[in-house]
Amino acid sequence: MILRLLVVLALAAFAAGACAPANAALPTQIGIRIHYSHFDATKIEVPMGVPVTFTLVNDDPIDHEWLIGDEAFHARHRNGTEAVHGDRPNEVSLPPFTTKTTTLTFDKPGVLTFICHFPQHEAYGMVGVVIVRP
């Protein structure tokens, strides 16, 4: 009987721990600066289920873009013909010397990639990952 009670208490403690917001310490305000055709942050951890605001700074005298999504999304954009993005929070066009903000809420855990799909920019290294933590 006592053993059973201890098991129940242990399970209750485990459940309480599992429900604690493990991702609460992760930032919801992210700054990414582009300079010499590179992102200055290429591995970013964010919490799932809450709005995350990205401030994107293009410090270069040329156009860039910040497109975030999964592999299928990027496969479409690598072959895409859309020169300018503007209406979707996960697709941001960045003219020279501009700053833009965009807010996204990630609804599932996992790894997403952000890439600039201007010709040769991905190959040059304009790639980063966002890790969404539950």
User: Using CB under 5 A as the criterion, which residues of the chain lie in contact with Cu ion when the complex forms?
Assistant: 64, 116, 118, 121, 126
113 neighbors 107 (Cβ within 8 angstroms): no
- Cβ nearer to Cu ion, comparing 39 with 106: 39
- Cβ nearer to Cu ion, comparing 44 with 116: 116
| Strand partners for 99 | 57
129 neighbors 123 (Cβ within 8 angstroms): no
Q: Least distance (Å) from Cu ion to the CB of residue 45?
A: 23
Q: Least distance (Å) from Cu ion to the CB of residue 22?
A: 34
SS3 19: helix
Q: Least distance (Å) from Cu ion to the CB of residue 121?
A: 3
Can you give the length of the chain in residues?
A: 134
- Nearest residue to Cu ion on Cβ basis: 116
- Closest to 66 measured CA to CA, from 108, 132, 113: 113
Give, in degrees to the nearest 5, the angle at Cα 90 between 121 and 133: 100
- Cβ nearer to Cu ion, comparing 30 with 117: 117
Edge-to-edge strand list for the sheet holding 38-39: 38-39, 29-35, 51-58, 99-105
- Cβ nearer to Cu ion, comparing 46 with 56: 56
Q: Least distance (Å) from Cu ion to the CB of residue 81?
A: 17
